[in-house]
Amino acid sequence: MPWLGFVPMRSNPIDSTYQMIKEMEVRGAGRIARAAVMALEEYCVSSRFSSTKEFYRNLFAAGEKLKSARPTAVSLPNSVNYVLAAAKRNEARNASLRETIRAIDEACDSFVASSLKATKMIGNYGARRIQDGDVVLTHCNSEAVTAILTAAHEAGKRFEVFATETRPRFQGRITASVLARRGLNVSLIPDSAVRVYMRKVDTVLVGADAIAANGAVINKIGTSQVALVAHETRARFFVAAETYKLSATTMLGELVEIEHRSPYEVVPRAWLKANSRVKVKNPSFDVTPPEYIDLIITERGIYPPQGIVFLMKELYAEPLVGIE
């Protein structure tokens, strides 16, 4: 398995990976997906089971635990279900334990390779939409977004980037740091300064944690406000996302759950203790409606938000395999 900035603990890869994802030591929808897959692979290869039945029971339980770590990032259940689907196919044909573990190992490697390839392809597609002299604003931290901006820069295009801090976890600082190290012209701004700078912006470029069948995008909290300001100033609003972030269950009428995190990400414990009558709300994501989105850039091409449902139907032409 290639180095991806994350290595599960060999002693207990499921528990340790669950904790790292939940506590945002591993962050970013693509990294979360790959971390979960790697943990499943490590679990299957390194664990010992007394029977095939025990193996399946423990594997499916491990998958469910991993999926519960971050409820909004659709890439997490989609990646886990991709691996579990390989297990279920082997279970259905009564394959040996050795054959099943080999199939899961291959499925894990395939997913990781496809994930990395998808990010690169999105970078190439999206770079064509960046022009010389553009001013680009981005929110939070997205591998797909940094891939696009890096590819455009490497193609010789010169442009300026504004990166929001992205409170309360400041993921925008990661984006600014990565882009600066790659030689891009980048400025870090407070989230509350978006309207001040938007008048200079040609294109807003953000990632996604989930995309619904109607083209709505679920992304880091504050994204919908950025989209609203971009709509007001007529700035283009682009979303970059791998297709494993498409929420197929929204085709069946389900909603994407919005994660609410600890109030201590917003205020210190001492402050909350001194102000115990104050309620602190900390939603991690919001929903940007499709009418505020111009294009969604995927590894399978570029789509208007209204075209996402057709992409979903193409990807899930069969009954929703692996989707629960």
What's the rounded Cα separation, in Å, for the pair 249 and 255?
A: 8
Cβ-proximal residues to 98 (8 Å cutoff; 6+ apart), any chain: none
Question: Quick one: which of 29, 217, 230, 268 has its CA closest to 37?
Answer: 29
Asked about 140 being catalytic, the answer comes back as yes
Answer yes or no: are the C-beta atoms of 227 and 98 closer than 8 Å. no
Query: In this structure, what token pair is assigned to residue 303?
Result: 């789509």
Angstrom CA distances, 49 to 42, 57, 106, stand at 14, 10, 20
Angstrom CA distances, 203 to 56, 124, 311, stand at 48, 17, 24
Question: Quick one: which of 215, 245, 224, 223 has its CA closest to 78?
Answer: 245
Query: In this structure, what token pair is assigned to residue 178?
Result: 């990565």
Look at the alpha carbons of 146, 152, 154, 156 in this order and tell me if their dihedral is positive or negative.
Answer: negative
Tokens 């499925």, residue located: 107
Query: In this structure, what token pair is assigned to residue 211?
Result: 């995309």
Out of 44, 108, 134, 209, pick the active-site residue.
209
What's the rounded Cα separation, in Å, for the pair 24 and 102?
A: 30
Question: Quick one: which of 239, 224, 161, 229 has its CA closest to 199?
Answer: 229
Asked about 294 being catalytic, the answer comes back as no
Distinct helix (H) and strand (E) counts, the chain:
11, 10
What is the DSSP code (8-state) at residue 207?
-
Using CB atoms within 10 A of its CB, is residue 256 exposed (0-12), middle (13-18) or buried (19+)? buried
Look at the alpha carbons of 58, 319, 219, 244 in this order and tell me if their dihedral is positive or negative.
Answer: positive
Out of 140, 202, 286, 294, pick the active-site residue.
140
Give catalytic residue positions.
140, 209
